[in-house]
Amino acid sequence: MSCVPPPCDRTFDGGISGSAISHSPSGTIQLQVPRPIRGSTTPHHIGHGLRTAGRPEEALTATQEAVRIRRQLTASDPTTHRPDLAASLNMLGLYLSYAERHQEAMTAIQEAVDIRRQLAASDPATYEHGLAASLTGWSSVVYQAQQDPCGALEATEEAVEIYRRLTATAPARFLESLHTGLRLQSDLLVRLRGSDEAAAIR
């Protein structure tokens, strides 16, 4: 499926934040950042803890520090540290989006997508699910920024395709992520083309 320009309204009237989509009783789309590893004291996971504690500015600062540290580590040992850098960039993009710093958010999460795409190309079994997560996150950030809805739809479709393959072999692990991607795809289609096409994939 492609996002054909003629029927595509390139504006949004909704917003998404986070990396895992949920729908509130009112129908508002919300996203949730993945849970950190229990007991972790790295800036990456401290950032999540601060966000959960209702301290978003400190969470953003900690995550920026995590990106800085992991970028330095990646410069000296990319094989070991690039996956961690991508994870921190992904989270940074989401936190910047929460803060309505949309351009910075898109830049950060696009870098995460680029890194994870390269990693998945060489080792899909290990990294393809991370690519799908970043594609979904990028789509949500773009959606919240009310920019490039067709690009957001195409990225979501790619994520859904990945999650379908992964769910076929590990449904317990990936079925929820597939459902998340399908809901986002449906919501994007509603915005772009109307409810009939969206209903077909729900």
Q: What confidence tier does 40 reach under pLDDT thresholds 50, 70, 90?
A: very low
pLDDT in tens, 113-134: 999 999 999 999 999 999 999 9
Cα angle for residues 181, 90, 163 (degrees, 5° grid) = 25
E runs forming strands in the chain: 21-23, 29-31
More confident residue, 190 or 179: 179
Please state the pTM of the whole predicted model.
Answer: 0.75
pLDDT in tens, 48-95: 556 565 677 888 998 999 999 999 999 999 999 999 999 999 999 999
Whether 67 is in a domain gets the answer yes
Mean pLDDT for all residues in the chain: 79
The kind and range of the H/E element at 110 are helix 102-122
Whether 34 is in a domain gets the answer no
CATH number, residue 115: 1.25.40.10
pLDDT of residue 57: 85
Q: What confidence tier does 10 reach under pLDDT thresholds 50, 70, 90?
A: very low
Whether 185 is in a domain gets the answer yes
Name which of 41, 46, 42, 152 is nearest 97 in CA terms.
152
Full residue range of the structural domain in which residue 49 is found: 40-199
Whether 33 is in a domain gets the answer no
pLDDT of residue 144: 84
Whether 50 is in a domain gets the answer yes
Q: Which residue has the tokens 């079925």?
A: 175
Specify the number of domains making up the chain: 1
Whether 131 is in a domain gets the answer yes
